[in-house]
Amino acid sequence: MAERLLEVDDLHVHFATEDGVVRAVDGVSFELERGQVLGIVGESGSGKSVTAMTLMGLTRGVNSHFEGQVVYKGKDLLNISEREFQDYRGAEIGMIFQDPMTSLNPVYRIGEQIVEAIRAHESVDRRMAQRRAVELLRQVGIPNPESRIDDFPHQFSGGMRQRAMIAIALACNPDILIADEPTTALDVTIQAQIIELIAKLKDDFNSAVILITHDLGVVADIANEIVVMYAGRVVERAKTRELFYNPQMPYTWGLLGSIPRLDRPRPERLHSIKGAPPSLINMPQGCKFRPRCPHAFERCTQEPPLENHVEVAGHLDRCWLDNEYKRAYRDATVSGGHTEAA
Amino acid sequence: MLAFLVRRTVGAVLVCAAVTFIVFLIFIVVPGGGPHGTAERIAGKNATTQNIINIEHQWAFDRPFYVQYWRMMKKMFDGSLVSYTSQQNVVSQIVQGMPATFSLTVGAGVIWLFFGIVVGVISALTAGRLSDRVITVLALIGISMPVFWLGLVARYYLAEGGMTTFFPDGEYVAFSRSPTAWFAHLILPWLVLAVLFIGFYGRVLRGNILDTVNEDFVRTAKAKGLTPRRILVKHVLRTSLIPVVTLFGLDFASVLGGGAILTETVFDLHGVGQYAAQSISNFDLPPIMGVTMYGAFFIVFFSVLVDLFYAYLDPRIRPT
């Protein structure tokens, strides 16, 4: 069995705001092993980015409240001091963000921004760090890295900037790379390249990846396991193949159904999940997906636990529907929403 | 880079030319009154008829406007502009006032920039807490206090014996005569002039910093594991200071150009600003025209400097 790097156990992240307590993450658990790619999927406001930023300690603040555990190599990151956390950020866990256009500082050269990341954790001289930065840029696929290293971010295209961001995140060879919607701001053609690059570098650097996205298509190829989040909770979790072929939770059906597919008859209209995610301050009672779920019944006013309902071990979901009902209704949604369009 | 410099310099010269034309319009054309009216205004109080006729002829007020403009320009730039009220040469008066004005500006500029940054950083870092609120109130008081009032109060209490006579009371002493006296005489004017700017710069910088800390690249810096101090100095301050540089360049230029009329007058520094104030109260037109041009030159010159410095600070606008 591969080395377990990270164990998130019943994580809660709450923010005190003027309007009330925002329960951004409300009970999230997962594990990550070396070499693995974990996909976290969900729509905007489902808590996936807050989860990721919490792993990096970026959600700490006077108005934040944490519960649960984030254990990295035996150490609970929620309880260490800010000073200690600095040694983890970048060195042990690297992160790339959604918008490469704004995530690099416009007034410093690309090389300087990579060198800075290296020298934050390792006592190497500037020339040595510079040489490593060139090598990193080469590894992330920037042509002519020797000269491009002296460019400023505005001289890079969006895809190149995201590559540079990846180089920064990998500069100190972290064990975990967190990619928070790394392709959302990029062209579709570039998206695939970036995802492939992340998968390749994961092997080169022998690390693990947490890939956050709202697009199941993005994680389909490279994730080993997928966590589906809704309203701050994990609503379904399974190995990638299992999740795609045997989804249990109506929310997951909706996500799958909203992907345009070439291998199925074309629906009149692409499926969409009606309504919007609930307010994180004032959540519905019971199952959080209940108000939008076409299959909800009385029992759904109590919240279902995250449990295993199928033969495959490790496939967990939060749903009261029985397996027969699910089998009967699932395909209609997943295959492209004929029911909704009719 | 050279092309950029040339372009900006040519632009600056054109702006200066436009300013001379506006000066011509404001002081000579717009007030009207025909050749006699303009000449009477320039001659000042108690002028004889012969005086006025001479001026009318010298300044060509009986000729077309372009000849008038040309004469005005010639007088300004060949140094023959004189005040008819006091018979003093305007250029030499301005030159005499420059050491005092420059000393005032440089000292006050250093103080207000330094404390403006300190105040802005502290209040941004403690935003919402007590020190931020105290600073905000003090800054607003500083901005709202009229310089002439603050100057007089400072003189009364700190120089004339209201509380102490520790500081010398007004006047400017040349640096070459006595550096210590120069310094002692300037402390109060420096502080009084700086108070207004400190409050203002502090507020501007506070706002910029609070905007910048929410930028994505600051989050990236944090994700690299940099120390908070390094993030602040290298990533936040560097970007937040860019607008402050603009402000400083133009404010500095305007004080250098005689804009600190009130401070110079209250402390009797005999600088360019005080010269302007005296000329205004005497309706002495030629010195006012001269000081206006002199001030405009500094503003234009410093705005070119600011542009160049901008290009250094922000590579996105650097000419390639």
Question: Chain B partners of A94 at a C-beta cutoff of 8 Å?
Answer: 223
Task: Evaluate if residue A210 carries a pLDDT over 50.
Answer: yes
Collapsed DSSP state (helix, strand, coil) of residue A203: helix
What's the mean pLDDT when you consider all of chain B? 89
pLDDT at A1: 57
Q: Where are the beta strands (DSSP E) in chain A?
A: 4-17, 20-33, 37-41, 64-72, 75-76, 93-96, 176-180, 208-213, 225-230, 233-239, 307-308, 316-317
* Terminal Cα-to-Cα distance of chain B (whole angstroms): 7
Nearest chain A residue to B310, by CA: A107
The ipTM (two decimal places) reads: 0.87
Whether the full predicted model's pTM is greater than 0.80, yes or no, is yes
Choose among B219, B225, B228: nearest Cβ to A87: B225
Kindly report the three-state secondary structure assignment for every residue of A204-260.
HCCCEEEEEECCHHHHHCCCCEEEEEECCEEEEEEEHHHHHHCCCCHHHHHHHHCCC
Interface probe for B, chosen from A54, A101, A103, A165 (most Cβ of B below 10 Å), is: A103
Give B219-228 pLDDT, tens digit per residue. Answer: 999 999 999 9
Nearest chain B residue to A55, by CA: B223
What's the mean pLDDT when you consider all of chain A? 89
Q: Would an 8 Å CB–CB cutoff place A86 in contact with chain B?
A: yes
Task: Evaluate if residue B33 carries a pLDDT over 80.
Answer: no
Q: Residue written as tokens 């002829």?
A: B57
Give A55-87 pLDDT, tens digit per residue. Answer: 999 999 889 999 999 999 989 999 999 999 999
Interchain CB contacts (distance < 8 Å): A and B = 71
Q: Would an 8 Å CB–CB cutoff place A164 in contact with chain B?
A: no
pLDDT at A338: 44
Contact between A104 and B220 using a beta-carbon 8 Å cutoff: yes
